[in-house]
Amino acid sequence: MVRASKAQSKAVEAATPGSATAEVMEVDQTKAVKPVSEPKKSQRGVQKVPASNLLNGKAKPAEKEMPASVKAPADSNSKAGRGRKRSAAADAVLQPTSKKSKVSSGSSSPPVQLTAPAVKDGVVLTVGMGDIGQLGLGPDVEEKTRVAVVPGLPNIVAVCAGGLHSVCLDEQGKVHTWGCNDEGALGRTTSCEEDNFSAGCVEGIEGRVVQITAGDCHTAALTHDGRVYAWGCFRDNSGPLGFLESGTIQRSPRLLPAGGEAIIKLASGNNHLALLSQAGRLYTCGCAESGQLGRLAERFASRDLRNRNGFEVLLQPAPVRAVRLRRVAVTFDDVWAGGENTFARDASTGAIFAWGLNNYNQMGDEDTSTKFQPTLIKSMADKKWKKFTSGQHHTVGLDSEGRVYTMGRHDYGRLGLGDADRKDAKVPTLIETLKQPVKDVSAAGCVSVAVTEEGVAYGFGMGTSSQMSQGDDEDCWEPKEFTGKQLAERKVVSVSVGGQHSIVLAVPQS
């Protein structure tokens, strides 16, 4: 009864399909829509949320140490040049997508050798809503208010929550999925609805996978040699866009083109995907309505009749162009995506560029207009940033000192800044109540999570879907520790927040 009255009193929001990226990989160099309003907060059992709604330039030596997740040799053969006008179609570099094709870096640089996160005896725990199978706990479990162990998944090294599906990676480089499969997000055939409630292995990926990422209805996997496989579907406000080709749903892994380059990092938003190459170039594909691709003018960013270039200009990975002062081309050394935003770090200066939806200042830029091209974020200039993760109308940032900053919409406590002064944050604002250094952050919808170096997870934001393992459905205006018997003897490695559930990767306490 408390739950029902609370849902009726809050008029505008519920946890929405989100995106997440499981990262922390290393490059062994020696081995060479429009803005959408937030949905109404609903009660469990009233309505299910269907999945269908849901540089060029010379790579300069880094002036600072690159993070382990993206460290790679520079492309010595690419040449910087001045920016020039081009049509949207010119940026869409169509490439063959044969599964047997080999990836070439396009230069004399040594081939990449990527490695998965070093996690020993990792187990998967889930919490929140599971009425479409996203908890992986079987058809009889539709909700958990405390974390529970997903059976049959030993030795896991990375986890990732999509909108209504879940993904994990084992130490052998195999990908496992469960949850909603309406638009191919699982990358495997499920013969009946009950099959969606249990984890299954994805077949058809050549090579050892080292990183996974997921959005509302898509999933992507990066192999040790820099190839990208993906499956599912991208959507916009009008429905399905397709996958590489308009109107298609990809139900099994498919090799993505990326200008013939080796890829070293992936990042997913709700309905877009970013790929960072070994040479520091950034490719994007998917929905562009809110500017999240960063490479198309507004008139070319939707399926509007004025867009004569077709859907392929959106769905085929194509490069993002960014420049500094004096038209110097920018190369990147890291990329993050979430919701309808993308963030990337300048490899030479450490400056942060961002693009996408900014109606609540979730990009940290005080101008709330939608950014369709890379925009230098001046409010982030005084810190070294390790990660960004975005929900629908907010962003969480982690700096190199382990401090957590939030920006954007404050409702339901998603910023973690307390309820004394309830107002939005226009620039990155420090969460002072997180006293211990933080190693990872995740956000989706109206929920945020931070994981400390000591292995403790803290959640803040909307409590309706019980995604923060707090045992009730109360909103958390300040970081509150994840609790439960299954965490008593375990340390948290990472947490990935999805649309209505969260996935926790934990290891035994030493």
d(CA 350, CA 344): 9
- pLDDT given for residue 300 in this prediction: 87
Residue type (1 letter), 135: L
Is pLDDT at 270 greater than 90 in this prediction?
A: yes
Q: Are 181 and 193 in contact (CB under 8 A)?
A: no
Q: Are 112 and 264 in contact (CB under 8 A)?
A: yes
- pLDDT given for residue 15 in this prediction: 39
The rounded mean pLDDT for the chain is: 84
d(CA 43, CA 472): 13
Is pLDDT at 490 greater than 70 in this prediction?
A: yes
Higher local confidence (pLDDT), 439 or 95: 439
- pLDDT given for residue 75 in this prediction: 40
Q: Which of 105-109, 175-179, 231-235, 501-505 has the lowest mean pLDDT?
A: 105-109
Is pLDDT at 496 greater than 80 in this prediction?
A: yes
Average pLDDT rounded to a whole number, residues 354-366:
97
β partners of residue 263: 277
Give the chain's domains with CATH numbers.
13-39+55-508 (2.130.10.30)
- pLDDT given for residue 306 in this prediction: 59
User: How does pLDDT run across 466-482, given as a tens digit for each residue?
Assistant: 999 999 999 999 999 99
- pLDDT given for residue 309 in this prediction: 67
State whether residue 256 is helix, strand or coil.
coil
Higher local confidence (pLDDT), 241 or 2: 241
d(CA 262, CA 272): 19
Q: Are 490 and 508 in contact (CB under 8 A)?
A: yes
- pLDDT given for residue 302 in this prediction: 85
Q: How confident is the model at residue 311 (pLDDT cuts 50, 70, 90)?
A: confident
- pLDDT given for residue 257 in this prediction: 93
Q: How confident is the model at residue 510 (pLDDT cuts 50, 70, 90)?
A: confident
State whether residue 45 is helix, strand or coil.
coil
Q: How confident is the model at residue 327 (pLDDT cuts 50, 70, 90)?
A: confident
Average pLDDT rounded to a whole number, residues 326-340:
95
Q: What are the tokens at 330?
A: 């920018």
Q: Cα torsion for 107, 111, 116, 117, to the nearest 10°?
A: -70
Q: Which of 13-22, 202-211, 213-222 has the lowest mean pLDDT?
A: 13-22
- pLDDT given for residue 144 in this prediction: 97
Q: How confident is the model at residue 162 (pLDDT cuts 50, 70, 90)?
A: very high
85 CB-near residues (< 8 Å, 6+ apart): none
Average pLDDT rounded to a whole number, residues 319-342:
94
- pLDDT given for residue 213 in this prediction: 98
The conformational region for residue 402 under phi > 0 = left, psi -120 to 50 = alpha, else beta, is: left
Is pLDDT at 11 greater than 80 in this prediction?
A: no
User: How does pLDDT run across 43-97, given as a tens digit for each residue?
Assistant: 333 334 343 343 333 344 444 444 434 343 334 333 333 333 334 333 333 333 3
User: How does pLDDT run across 277-297, given as a tens digit for each residue?
Assistant: 999 999 999 999 999 999 999
- pLDDT given for residue 99 in this prediction: 38
Q: Are 298 and 291 in contact (CB under 8 A)?
A: yes
- pLDDT given for residue 334 in this prediction: 98
Q: Are 427 and 481 in contact (CB under 8 A)?
A: no
- pLDDT given for residue 105 in this prediction: 36
- pLDDT given for residue 451 in this prediction: 98
Q: Cα torsion for 462, 449, 288, 35, to the nearest 10°?
A: 30
Burial class of 400 by CB neighbour count within 10 A (0 to 12, 13 to 18, 19+) = middle
Cα→Cα distances 503→134, 341, 442, Å? 9, 22, 10
d(CA 162, CA 506): 19
- pLDDT given for residue 30 in this prediction: 38
Helix H or strand E encompassing 113: none
DSSP one-letter code for 313: H
What would the DSSP string read from start to end of 422-455?
---EEEEEE-TT--S-EEEEEEETTEEEEEETTS
Residue type (1 letter), 334: D
Q: How confident is the model at residue 141 (pLDDT cuts 50, 70, 90)?
A: very high
